Structure 1
Amino acid sequence: MTQRPHHRPLAPGDRYFGALPDTTGDPVRLAEAADRAAVLLVRGARASDDGEVAERILHLADTEGIETIAEAWAHSPADSVAGCLWRLFLLRSWVYADPVGVARQFEAGRARAAVADVVAGVADPPGPEELRAMVDQVLRGIAGGEFADVLLRAAAFARVVATGRAELPETDTVAAARMQAVADQLDRAARLELAGHLS
């Protein structure tokens, strides 16, 4: 008896998608798809009445992995929804990876960036757990509030941390400048969102 070569069975509905072009090698089309997904995620979340949507968005990086999100959105312009989401998820991942270091940098920057501290909405004193809670609350706002507010709060947080990094003797100036750039980018994106021009 001759053995037949094994073929993966056709899943229900596969035949409907057989004619779709393979775009895995087309970076332009992949970028367009990633941008559309980001816009749907943000705009669709605000239109949803499902209370679990905010939690699913919050844990997107945990369930899918920050590397997967990076593949989709890391190269998107800072003044796009996709670029904003990448920066927001990157900030959250960083806070969760180094909460003690972040708390130290935030504390060092509070005195010099007091207005931004208030806007960032961090509990006093800003320990590691308080910063985790704050960054989660900010990301939950994607589904429950105005996206511009989310961006402004994240920008304020990044600005306080950037100021703190510049104050601490062991932090190099490049790290402080990078965080300041993230703050500026999120702030600019928030202004675009308020004007209805962020896409």
Structure 2
Amino acid sequence: MADDFHKPMFFSGQAFAAFHGGEDPATINRVAHETAGALLSRVRDDPQPEVIDRLIAFTDDHGIDTVAELWSRAGAHSLPGSLWRIYLLRALIRQDPELTSYFFERGAQLIPSIDPVVAGAESPTGPKEITELADRILRGLFTGDFAVALERAAAFCRIMAQGCASIADDAEIGAPETASTLTTRALRFESIGDDLSQSAALWRRDGLD
């Protein structure tokens, strides 16, 4: 895949591997928090289905870079940072649902936790099911328990991390470069999952802003 952004394509595997969030200047941070707070408050106060549908499909029409400009540099444990991570995960899933479902299925088979139940994907999880899961998680931010939606996304990340790590182990001898790439990706999923779990806990304490 190309490294350049093209609408409605989103980002390369290399771009995802390099993702780590970031700190931003005060002005950008303020705008990120204000826009995220206003959007979430307005939609949750009046959850019109057509508006929510447009928000879910926003990056399909405009690309992930539009959301990135608003929220990607916000702190990991903040409202805009959490919204950015959910949109990022949905974009990743939709870019290659077949490969994503492959990683997810491997991880779900191996992970020693109830994360597959928490994530809520239908089993077996193919491209259709993984794409539907992405939409349900994002929709849950606007219509359901916000913390639960974050926890579902965190569970998805942990499953993906397990799947990527397992496949990296399989590739270690015959394809070391692939193994290295998948190991890096597993670490990124694990990091995002941790961030989303912490954000869910903050939301429950009214501390996510």
Q: Which residue of 2 aligns with 1:18?
A: none
The 8 Å contact of residues 64 and 91 in structure 2, kept in 1 or not, is answered as: yes
Q: Tell me the distance in 2 between the aligned counterparts of 1:146 and 1:40.
A: 17
Q: Which residue of 1 aligns with 2:194?
A: 184
The reply to whether residue 122 of structure 1 matches residue 132 of structure 2 is no
The 8 Å contact of residues 115 and 156 in structure 2, kept in 1 or not, is answered as: yes
Q: Which residue of 2 aligns with 1:94?
A: 92
Q: Which residue of 2 aligns with 1:198?
A: 208
Q: Tell me the distance in 2 between the aligned counterparts of 1:190 and 1:49.
A: 21
Structure 1 residue runs without a partner (length 5+): 1-25
* CA displacement 1:48-79 (0-9 Å, x = unmatched): 14222221221121233211111111111110
Counterpart amino acid of 2:121?
V
Out of 34, 41, 65, the residue aligned to residue 32 of structure 2 is: 34
RMSD: 1.5
Counterpart amino acid of 2:129?
E
* CA displacement 1:104-154 (0-9 Å, x = unmatched): 110111123240000000001000110000110111112211111110000
* CA displacement 1:10-62 (0-9 Å, x = unmatched): xxxxxxxxxxxxxxxx9532331122111111222111142222212211212
3-state secondary structure, aligned to 1:35: helix
The 8 Å contact of residues 45 and 142 in structure 1, kept in 2 or not, is answered as: no
Out of 79, 84, 106, the residue aligned to residue 108 of structure 1 is: 106
Q: Tell me the distance in 1 between the aligned counterparts of 2:47 and 2:88.
A: 27
Using the size of structure 2 for normalisation, the TM-score is 0.79
3-state secondary structure, aligned to 1:124: coil
Q: Tell me the distance in 2 between the aligned counterparts of 1:186 and 1:31.
A: 19
Q: Tell me the distance in 2 between the aligned counterparts of 1:53 and 1:124.
A: 30
The 8 Å contact of residues 81 and 198 in structure 1, kept in 2 or not, is answered as: yes
Counterpart amino acid of 1:180?
E
Structure 2 residue runs without a partner (length 5+): 1-23, 172-178
Using the size of structure 1 for normalisation, the TM-score is 0.83
The 5-angstrom pairing of residues 105-184 of structure 1 reads: 105-113=103-111, 114-168=113-167, 169-170=170-171, 171-172=179-180, 173-184=183-194
Q: Tell me the distance in 2 between the aligned counterparts of 1:194 and 1:82.
A: 16
3-state secondary structure, aligned to 1:150: helix
* CA displacement 1:76-109 (0-9 Å, x = unmatched): 1110110011100110000001111111110111
Q: How many residues align?
A: 174
* CA displacement 1:144-181 (0-9 Å, x = unmatched): 11111110000001110001111003443211111100
